[in-house]
Structure 1
Amino acid sequence: MTRLNRLFFTSAPPAALLIRLAVGAIFLSEGIQKFLFPDALGVGRFVKIGIPFPQVMGPFVGVVEMLCGLLILLGLLTRLAAVPLIIDMLVAIATTKVPIFLQEGFWKMAHEARTDWAMLLGTLFLLLTGPGPVAVDSRLYRKRVPGDERHSQPDRTC
């Protein structure tokens, strides 16, 4: 299998669409909000948590979240789109949840980090399995490898 085929290949079940809808919509929404509410969620937030070059990084992260969130919603270049979002979530956990853990303890951090962990794990799932058969990637894979329906379609033999 070529590298390009591996990029589009998916072993995820059709229900992966639900993960894609949640992960993609939340990242798209959060990216948009970094521009709608820059003081609370964009540049201002990045200044508060100590991100270097907040005037650059705030809008940059907003664009990455919007673009990659949209790609995940479509199931287009899903694995590539997942990588920057995984980095995004790791930085978010390190810069916002670790300080809570150090100052207020595990349970406060666990409560505050629930969405971050869900987004990180959902995005990791998409990186590992692909977007599922209801996705642009799956259609592209089927066009590139005619007749190979093994993992891009659900097993209908049961």
Structure 2
Amino acid sequence: MQLNMNLSKWICYSVGYVFITSGILKLLVSDFKALFISLGLPFPTSTLLLVALIEIGCGMLIAGRMYVNFAVPPLILIMFGALYLTKIPVLLNKGFFSFAFEARLDIVMLILLLLIWQHIRGKKVI
């Protein structure tokens, strides 16, 4: 089997996969509700549902390479929110190396989203 797809397709499939699975788990695993409550967010249950649905919907759009220009910005915002709310406290309380380990997926996903955004803003078709 030969993999002749270009890199941008693989990036879209991987980013979509991560967000789809993350969103589904937020809906199915009750630990996420407790996490959102502990973050002190207003309306944590509604916020959790909204974040999960955005992750699933936008992840599907990116994986399907449809309306990517509308799907990327909300996910970038979610990644910045996740870093700010859950990873910056690790940096402040446990130090850089704990932060670097805990934030590794968030940072990689943010970089990949920015690459996708740059690619579509350059008017190239993904």
- The Cα offsets for residues 38-59 of structure 1, whole Å up to 9 and x where unpaired, read as x212x22211222221011000
| Equivalent in the alignment of 1:120 | 110
CA distance 1:152–1:82, shift in 2 (3 Å): closer
Match of residue 25, structure 1, among 17, 40, 54: 17
Structure 1 residues not aligned, in runs of 5+: 1-12, 131-140, 142-150, 154-158
1:35 to 12, 27, 33: 27
Task: Quote the residue 1:76 is aligned against.
Answer: 66
If asked which structure has higher relative contact order (CA below 8 Å, sep 6+), I would say: 1
1:109 pairs with one of 99, 110, 117: 99
- Bigger CA radius of gyration: 1
1:57 aligns with 2:47: yes
* Pair 1:95 & 2:89 matched: no
Q: What SS does the aligned partner of 1:107 have? A: helix
Residue type matched to 2:52 in 1?
G
Residue by residue over 1:46-97, the C-alpha shift from the partner in whole angstroms, topping out at 9 and shown as x without a partner, is 1122222101100000000000000000000112100000000000000000
Distance 1:15 1:110, change over 3 A: same
Figure out how many residues of one structure are paired with residues of the other and give that number: 121
Q: Tell which deviates more after alignment, 121-130 or 111-120.
A: 121-130
Q: How far apart, CA to CA, are the structure 2 residues paired with 1:152 and 1:74?
A: 13
The amino acid that maps onto 2:31 is: A
Distance 1:99 1:58 in 2: 20
| Percent identity of equivalent pairs | 32
Note the residue ranges of structure 2 that are not aligned, 5 or more in a row. Answer: none
Give the root-mean-square deviation of aligned CA atoms. 2.0
More helix by share: 2
